[in-house]
């Protein structure tokens, strides 16, 4: 029996003030049903960062995981690009 693929997202760290937790904003585009215009959508996720490695402005890859707290359902997979 094979485990199902986990959801992955790429976003930008908007907050790193808490211990082992970062807030990541993921942006994607979706077409409006009626007006057929591309609309940007933003969603924030609380992400577990075990090593406290990510900093504000970094682009990161996150993976869905089991619930780690009331709001944390994602963990940091890798840092794609460091902030300048």
Residue ranges of domains in the chain: 8-81
| Most distant CA pair in the chain, distance | 45
Q: Which residues pair with 76 in a beta bridge?
A: 62
pLDDT digits (tens, 9 = 90+) for 40-55: 999 999 999 999 999 9
pLDDT digits (tens, 9 = 90+) for 26-79: 999 999 999 999 999 999 999 999 999 999 999 999 999 999 999 999 999 999
CA distance 59 to 81: 5
pTM of the shown model: 0.88
Task: Name residues whose C-beta falls within 8 Å of residue 8's C-beta, 6 or more positions apart in sequence.
Answer: 61, 62, 63, 64, 77
Helix (H, G, I), strand (E, B) or coil at 1: coil
**Domain covering 8-81 assigned CATH 2.40.50.140 in the classification:** yes
């Amino acid at each position: 029996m094979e485990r199902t693929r986990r959801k992955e997202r790429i976003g930008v760290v908007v907050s790193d003030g808490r211990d082992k937790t970062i807030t990541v904003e993921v942006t994607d585009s979706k077409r409006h049903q009626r007006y057929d215009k591309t609309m940007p959508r933003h969603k924030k996720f609380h992400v577990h960062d075990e090593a406290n490695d990510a900093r504000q402005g970094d682009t990161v890859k996150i993976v869905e995981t089991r619930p780690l707290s009331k709001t944390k359902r994602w963990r940091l997979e890798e840092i794609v690009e460091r902030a300048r």
